[in-house]
Amino acid sequence: MRLLLLGAPGSGKGTQAVRLKDHLQVPHISTGDLLRAEVAAGSPLGLEAKEVMARGELVSDAILLGMLEDRLSREDVAGGFILDGYPRNLAQAAALDALLTRIGQPMDHAVQLAVPVEMLVERIAGRAQDEGRADDNPESVRKRLQVYEEQTAPVIEFYREHGQLTVIDGVGGMDDVFARVVSALQPVHPVG
């Protein structure tokens, strides 16, 4: 199964992706994780991305697309994948669509985890204490939420218009949200 997880920073995509990966037995591709690995490795790409990420802005579309093409050309995605963190703007959505069409692997589901903004801020603040991510400081969090509103929210509409979107209530315990996502992935049986 090829599954796209959509949602704001703090909406729980990463948490659910890890569980879904075990459940579906497919790899989890997080563009945030891929970028953080480049930063940690000190690669040229990582050096370029580091400051942009720390500010909470988007890394260039060209870098992201190259990284994603690379990742999707690996053998382990033959049986599907969970994509998290991409697309983050309409240009990326169009590029992903074109890429998946070209490799003959269209997305099966696009699931949005819907969480009210006050709760997002609260959750990210909690995570900042636990994980100490460079971009979990208040200023960068505000920027990430603004980028999400302005650039990523239209992506949700893109999938809605393509008839692929399922919106899941992302408020509640991790187990409850997981159960909701899993039930949304069940094949729809025609009535009668």
Catalytic residues: 13, 88, 127, 133, 144
Nearest approach in angstroms of CB 52 to ligand ADP is: 6
Nearest approach in angstroms of CB 143 to ligand ADP is: 8
Nearest approach in angstroms of CB 189 to ligand ADP is: 34
The answer to whether residues 168 and 181 touch, using CB atoms and an 8 Å cutoff, is yes
Q: Which is nearer to ligand ADP, 2 or 144 (CB)?
A: 144
- The CA–CA distances, whole Å, from 152 to 84, 104, 181, 190 equal 13, 25, 21, 33
Residue nearest to ligand ADP (CB): 32
Q: Which is nearer to ligand ADP, 16 or 31 (CB)?
A: 31
Q: Which is nearer to ligand ADP, 24 or 141 (CB)?
A: 141
Can you give the C-alpha Rg of the chain in angstroms?
Answer: 16
- The rounded distance, in Å, linking the Cα atoms of 53 and 48 is 9
Nearest approach in angstroms of CB 73 to ligand ADP is: 18
Q: Which is nearer to ligand ADP, 26 or 31 (CB)?
A: 31
How do beta strands 28-30 and 2-6 pair?
unpaired
- The rounded distance, in Å, linking the Cα atoms of 10 and 113 is 10
Instruction: Kindly tell me the burial class for residue 110, based on how many C-beta atoms sit within 10 Å of its own C-beta (0-12, 13-18, 19 or more).
Output: buried
Which residues would be at the binding site for ligand ADP (CB under 6 A)?
9, 31-32, 35, 52-53, 56-59, 64, 85-86, 88, 92, 135, 144
